[in-house]
Structure 1
Amino acid sequence: MKKMQASPIYIPTVSNDTDWDFCFHLSQQTPIPTQQQTDEVYPTYGSEESEEDTAVQEEEAITDYMSLPKEKLVQSQKKITQLIKEKMTIQANKELIRCVILSRIVFGEEHWRCAQALTNLAYGYLVLRGLPAQAKKHAESAKNVLLTWKGNASSDKEQKEILEALVMLYYTLGVVWLLQNHGREAYFNLQKADKHMKELNGLTKRGICGLYVSEKDLTIALGRASLAVHRLNLALAYFEKVIGNVIATEGSDTSDLISLYEEIAQIEQLRRNHEQAIQYLKQAYSISVSSFTEVSPQTAEASALLAKAYAMSGKPQHRDAVETYFIKSISAYQATLGSEDYETLTTIEEFCKWLVENGDKQDAYKLLKASLKSQIISYGDCSKKVAETFYNLGRICFANGELRKAIQLLRKCLMIQIFVYGSEHNKSKETKGLLTQLQRESNNPSKWKKEAIQGKKNCICKGTEA
């Protein structure tokens, strides 16, 4: 199963946000009306106008000036909604930046409307651009404004918009912390988002600029955060809730259930309920077949997860199922993504590892040998993955008593490892030590025979890296 809390997640970081810098620079060029500019528009020259007339004229001038940014703000918000519908995410993000700048001009930096615009921008960076580092920066800015704002909402509509901004703000911060593997901070922020979401119950129309956090997204995030802090029963409850809601609203065959079943199966595995995990993954596989056909990347992934779930159960009666679903997964990946694709090669490696662990070394050797050419094409002659494959092939040959072939394969492995890691790396030293031992044993056939028998009992493919 895929591990959410343990597997490293790549977090793109952008030290310089060029879109933001460019748009903000333009905003700095936008003139703010001053007394001097008003005087130029309405010069008095010591005329007969009273001070009261002059004040009225100044107010009208400022109102006329501010109407243009207000109009542009409304237009930009509408444009964002349309761009999101058309999946033009980069353009939508640029418009979100313009909304922040226009909000600063119209309302000022300390107004909650400006914080609302910053929150939308942060959420946009997270869900539209996949840039959590940028999302966090703007969310923190929005949080500072909202927490220090002294005013009061003038209407129920404004109060609801503020609550909605708070939901989006804490959801964004929660997900960013989750992506950065800080489970406690993630859970804390998502709990705050959930509290404000409850206050928003009954609100029919949500979201400015077409952006809003759904209860489904928030519940899933809470489930993942609960898993990250090892609260398995709570995580299970959140996923059961969201699955029930999705079935009630979208039906039991919707493709939205696939990832949910896969994640709840992982929780059940961590709770050692392997049979329940298998049942969830069988449902995910069935929906994948009906939604995407049996030969598709989605079904290939579901099949691989199901194979690994059967394997994790450790039950002898599941051996045939493990082999069946691994083969289905590999075939589907090869047909749709190609033999050189990362998912194809990774699934082959996992299947071979299971075969070796279960005594089917010959089949594992054939599969690994057949995939070697594809690995060289994908990763290069001198790569970690190719070295790993030579290592595992050598170990299999050692277990089968094919000493000469094992030595040849391990020599190739060592050459690549020295190139990739250097001769003093632990991996290189380990392979060199094994190779030296085999070369020594090759000169002592009787002792070698005894060692080979023992090797057949103990040999397994090592981890994910040689």
Structure 2
Amino acid sequence: MSSDEDIGLGEGGPMMVEVKKTSVHPSSRSPQRTQRDDYSDDYESDEEIWSEGEEDEEVMETSRPSGRRILYGADHWKLARSHCNLAEAYLEMKAGYSPQADHHSEIAKTIMLNSVTSYTTEQEKADIYDVLFKIYHTQGRALTTLKKYGEAEGLLAKADKVCGELSKLSCLSQDDLDDYEIKLAQATARLYWKQKKYAVAGSQYDKLLKLIEERHGMDCPQLIPVYQEYGKISFINIH
């Protein structure tokens, strides 16, 4: 198995050259919104509280999968990126949209698996790997919130493999790679916290703090929510 196939690409590398006519995808209709997710022991990355209308507008502006499907076809990586962007938008909302984030991540993943692909430039390869990382990272976070911890851990492990492939590309800067590592470390730390694996979660938070400090400096505001999260683990360990 090639490294591309191992991380979730179809045959070849990342850029659509033809479409399988028999591909079948999950329904593009999102599941009905469920009751508010249990956030009693979860962390939220967005400081802003949105109204229902603002949430709907954000989703519409973030991604338009139907238009991408018409423009690129049913198995193009840019359609997968559109679904992935929509999944990320759902996940950033305050209400219980994790099922929708999981749903659109799964559609994006299926598109990538059914693609027959080849890339012509290293930047195109980086763009596709970026989509793969977002798919695994977003779905892993969504399933963590939905308490499907085993599946979430597997997806974040795949995101880690994609990071390894991205690190081989000369078109990406060290800052770009650090940003991927920060996102992955934070998602992994939160997963272990939810699983009550506090020692492992603590080591991940140590890694996360170091990455952020090296990337943004000792006084950056990004450190504040991380210290707050880490403090909750310390409080639990004390009691």
Q: TM-score scaled to structure 2, two decimals?
A: 0.66
Unaligned runs of 5+ in 2: 1-29, 34-53
Aligned partner of residue 153 in structure 1, secondary structure: coil
Aligned partner of residue 101 in structure 1, secondary structure: helix
Tell me the alpha carbon deviations over residues 208-228 of structure 1, each in whole angstroms, 9 at most, x when there is no partner. xxxxx7432321110111233
Counterpart-to-counterpart distance in 1, 2:103 and 2:31: 11
Q: TM-score scaled to structure 1, two decimals?
A: 0.36
Higher relative contact order structure (alpha carbons within 8 Å, sequence separation ≥ 6) = 2
Q: Which structure 2 residues correspond to residues 17-416 of structure 1 after superposition, within 5 A?
A: 90-98=56-64, 100-127=65-92, 131-201=97-167, 203-204=172-173, 214-270=180-236, 272=237, 274=238, 312=239
Aligned partner of residue 133 in structure 1, secondary structure: helix
Aligned partner of residue 154 in structure 1, secondary structure: coil
Tell me the alpha carbon deviations over residues 383-433 of structure 1, each in whole angstroms, 9 at most, x when there is no partner. xxxxxxxxxxxxxxxxxxxxxxxxxxxxxxxxxxxxxxxxxxxxxxxxxxx
CA contact (8 A) 2:202 2:230 kept: yes
2:32 aligns with 15
CA contact (8 A) 2:87 2:102 kept: yes
| Deviation (angstroms), 1:129 | 6.7
CA, structure 1 residues 157+129, in 2 after alignment: closer, same or farther (shift >3 Å)?
farther
CA, structure 1 residues 14+109, in 2 after alignment: closer, same or farther (shift >3 Å)?
closer
| Deviation (angstroms), 1:123 | 1.4
Aligned partner of residue 84 in structure 2, secondary structure: helix
The letter for the 1-side match of 2:227 is Y
Counterpart-to-counterpart distance in 2, 1:96 and 1:255: 25
What percent identity do the matched residue pairs reach?
A: 27
CA contact (8 A) 1:184 1:229 kept: no
Max Rg structure: 1
CA, structure 1 residues 158+251, in 2 after alignment: closer, same or farther (shift >3 Å)?
closer
CA contact (8 A) 1:89 1:129 kept: no
Counterpart-to-counterpart distance in 2, 1:129 and 1:232: 25
Aligned partner of residue 245 in structure 1, secondary structure: helix
CA, structure 1 residues 249+157, in 2 after alignment: closer, same or farther (shift >3 Å)?
closer
Aligned CA RMSD, in angstroms, stands at: 2.7
Matched residues, number: 183
Counterpart-to-counterpart distance in 2, 1:95 and 1:255: 27
